[in-house]
Chain A
């Protein structure tokens, strides 16, 4: 029985089988639906973004449409303070969010990986916000932050702060307020992935370290962390890209406000194309965002020596 499994390629099946008589074309037929969908709705749009980035294209001002060369890019880098503001905010948002999510997610994973009474329930509750959508997260935190009946009212009742405080409409509090809202549903993502990876650390290693008298902290530093490294690198990268691109939460929670204080680059791009109908310029900004993402990802993978030593 086993010898058949050892052969990499399948032995030619009985001739009568029509289905397996076309092995050369079959794989292409099988991937065709997926390939066509991706060509039509991912590849083609990406190419058209590159194309429009070199055009003046605004359906409301058709007389100006036409080839623009690199004008759009030049305008972005030299003449558009909003581009720099939103790019800076995006960077700040991604670094703070991903950093804090990783920190709390790692701590939580280590905790719920222990054996303790009520662990199954603890895990389920800790992970619960993970599946909550960005819009629903916004809805929940709008309820919490609203100035009339939000959390500040009850804090004021207890003598902390003032009545009528609205953290989302004050430029000095909106950033931490939005960060906390996104942390609430972002931390479980890391906790789940890291917990899954923790399951595969060999227990013998800890026992050996124990025998050698290594402290718990040392065990974490020399056994757990190196084991988790690849998972951490990959999940932070995926999450950073996701946090950069995702507009659901900020769009609905703050709308990029107050006074543009929380507008990320993708949010700015969406406004440029949807509200201002300036497709050409929005495409150029999109291209810039692609390039930045790609560049940062490469640098990050290189610096972290992903998949290096060990495996």
Chain B
């Protein structure tokens, strides 16, 4: 898709003059030729705005405390050591990974079974159920903190990562299920039927025939669930009061709300928070741009 159009068109031809000629010499792809500066100038300005904050956090994380140099030199890793060991980011990291992975698995599994039902069966409450899924998009988790807190207190789950995992999963589920049912619908039913004829049960047929085809979609849905749980802050802040149970976003907030903020530690902590997300997105980027709207926007 990416056609490398390396030929720099000299002075770009004036776009289209609403000229009077009946038959303009449309060089077939004339519509494609925007003057180069109209691309590079605004793009560069925007990129400066995007990249300075990233540079800023790297700068603060890597230069020694008290330095005001604008390049991270001499480079130091003291902030990382400090935040990892003294500020408990080592523990937070473990908790965040655990929460993220558990949310990923739970969300994908539950959304997969539900999504299969929505894609392959007609049943009485299907329309109502779909509508309920869409409605949940308007229900803000932030406004349900109090009742959720009461429920988890009742279940004796306050201060356990389980409460956060369940809460994150529940709010990820509806969209994940809608997306997955869309992916399943794209796999022809006849493939599954052929496997039945060959003597497979429904489950085996699903596992052998459908599941491999769903892999890209499941990876994407799972990644979103992971990143969402990794990034989300409010549930962990509310349901986990024990210092050793908290997650990275809560740790960052603690650093920020200190009386005098240790900027180097904050920057290093921020980078620790960003690394897994960057890795995940580098991994799914391609799928993100081409396939996202198909499921998410068009419903």
Which residues in A have some Cβ–Cβ distance to B below 8 Å?
1-2, 4-5, 9-11, 13-14, 17-20, 23, 26-28, 30-31, 33-35, 37-38, 40-42, 44-46, 48-49, 52, 104, 107-108, 111-112, 114-117, 119-120, 122-129, 131-136, 138-144, 146, 149, 151, 153-154, 184, 192-193, 195-197, 199, 203, 206-207, 209-211, 213-216, 219, 230-231, 234-235, 238, 241, 244-248, 251-252, 255, 266, 269-270, 273-274, 279, 282-283, 286, 289-290, 293-294, 297
Contact = CB atoms under 8 A, between A and B. Distances in A.
A109 to B, nearest CB: 10
Given A31-B113, A196-B292, A215-B16, A131 B277 contact: yes
Contact of B42 (A107, A246, A289): A107
Q: Which of B147, B294, B298 has the most CB of A within 10 A?
A: B147
Contacts of A151: 56
A125 B290 contact: no
A37 B269 contact: no
Contacts of B297: 193, 196-197, 230-231, 234-235
A111 B249 contact: no
Task: Specify the main secondary structure of chain A where it touches its partner.
Answer: helix
A31 B150 CA distance: 26
Interface of B: 2-6, 15-19, 23-24, 26, 30-32, 34, 36, 39-40, 42-43, 46-47, 49-54, 56-57, 60, 68, 70, 110-111, 113-114, 116-118, 120-123, 126, 129, 132, 136-148, 150-151, 166-167, 169-171, 173-174, 177, 188-190, 193-194, 196-197, 199, 201-203, 227, 230-234, 238, 249, 252-253, 255-257, 261, 263, 266-267, 269-270, 273-274, 277-278, 280-281, 285, 288-294, 296-298
A19 B113 contact: no
A126 B43 contact: yes
Task: Specify the main secondary structure of chain B where it touches its partner.
Answer: helix
Contacts of B50: 125-126, 128-129, 184
Contact of A41 (B5, B143, B151, B232): B151
Contacts of B169: 37
Nearest to A1: B190
Contact of B146 (A17, A138, A199, A283): A283
21 contacts: A9-B122, A27-B126, A41-B167, A46-B147, A117-B6, A127-B289, A128-B50, A133-B233, A138-B256, A140-B270, A142-B256, A143-B60, A207-B31, A210-B26, A215-B15, A219-B31, A230-B298, A235-B297, A238-B137, A241-B138, A266-B140
